[in-house]
Amino acid sequence: MSELRNFTKGFVKENPTFVQALGMCPTLATTTSAVNGLGMGLATLSVLTLSNIVVSLIRKFVPEKIRIPIYIVVIASFVTIVDLVMHAFTYQLWRTLGLFIPLIVVNCIILGRAEAFASKNGVFASFLDGLGMGLGFTASLVLLGSVRELLGSGTIFGLPVWGKAFNVFAMILPPGAYIALGMLAGLFSFIGIKRRERQKAKSASEKVKA
């Protein structure tokens, strides 16, 4: 049961993008379309899962004082591998994401999970944690990418939804990224507040009954 929770907590409750506000740079920069968001999400997901596994495997041998540089080398190695693999097999996506593939190294989600989770937990739990957090990150990127693509070019994953007359070109440009993410963060926090209010009302009415 707790293993399942390791896996699912990244989706909503500890969602890296909307709740923890981590890894903002790639989130804003690569979500010009749903496909780009998906690509960046999957690249980060693979680095996160692999680095979580390795950090968890070596956690007993790593001296406390130099753990951060060691984690960074582990992460940077996997980023290099992902970079080379994407260059070889998904060249178009590699061109679009460009600078932001090597910059996965400094994505705070990855070092954050290595430090906060993988360095303290077993291999399987760390694997699930990395997979769950990575999927949560990917889902947020695809959501933001879809919103921006829909408003900016009237398509989702390249499928046309409405005519060109509705397009707001600015949504694909940098300002659109900030505004769309801000609106989504507002929506998430609105849902959170409503849910808390409902719970409070529920517990209050139960108290009255008792």
Partner 1 sequence: MRLFLIFLSAVLVNNFVLARFLGICPFLGVSKRLSTATGMGMAVIFVMTLASVITWLLNLLLVALNLEFLTTIVFILIIATLVQFVELFMKKNSPALYEALGIYLPLITTNCAILGLALLNVLNGYSLLETVVHSVAAGVGFTMALVIFAGIRERLELVDVPESFKGLASALVTAGLLSLAFMGFQGMVKF
Q: Which residues bind partner 1 (CB under 8 A)?
A: 21-22, 24-26, 28-29, 68-69, 72-73, 76-77, 79-80, 83-84, 99, 102-103, 105-108, 111, 170, 173-179, 181-183, 185-187, 189-190, 192-193
Q: How far is the CB of 39 from partner 1 (least distance, A)?
A: 16
Joined together, the tokens standing for residue 83 give: 């970079």
C-beta of residue 137 within 8 angstroms of C-beta of residue 14: no
Give the residue with the Cβ less far from partner 1, 128 or 133.
Answer: 133
> What is the distance, to the nearest Å, from the Cα of residue 188 to the centroid of all Cα atoms in its chain?
15
Cα-flanking dihedrals φ and ψ of residue 159, to 5°?
Answer: -90, 125
Residue 7 CB, nearest distance to partner 1 (Å)?
A: 26
Minimum distance of partner 1 from residue 152's CB (angstroms): 14
Among residues 37 and 128, whose Cβ is nearest to partner 1?
A: 37
132 or 176: CB nearest partner 1: 176
Instruction: State the Cα–Cα distance between residues 171 and 155, nearest whole angstrom.
Output: 13
Q: If we measure between CA atoms, which residue out of 11, 61, 36 comes closest to residue 145? A: 36
CB 72 to partner 1: min, Å: 6
CB of 76 to partner 1, least distance (A): 4
Tell me the backbone φ, ψ of residue 39, rounded to 5 degrees: -60, -50
CB of 209 to partner 1, least distance (A): 29
Given the complex with partner 1, which of 139 and 180 has the nearer CB atom?
Answer: 180
Residue 83 or 129 with smaller CB distance to partner 1: 83
- If the CB atoms of residues 22 and 125 are measured against partner 1, the closer one turns out to be 22
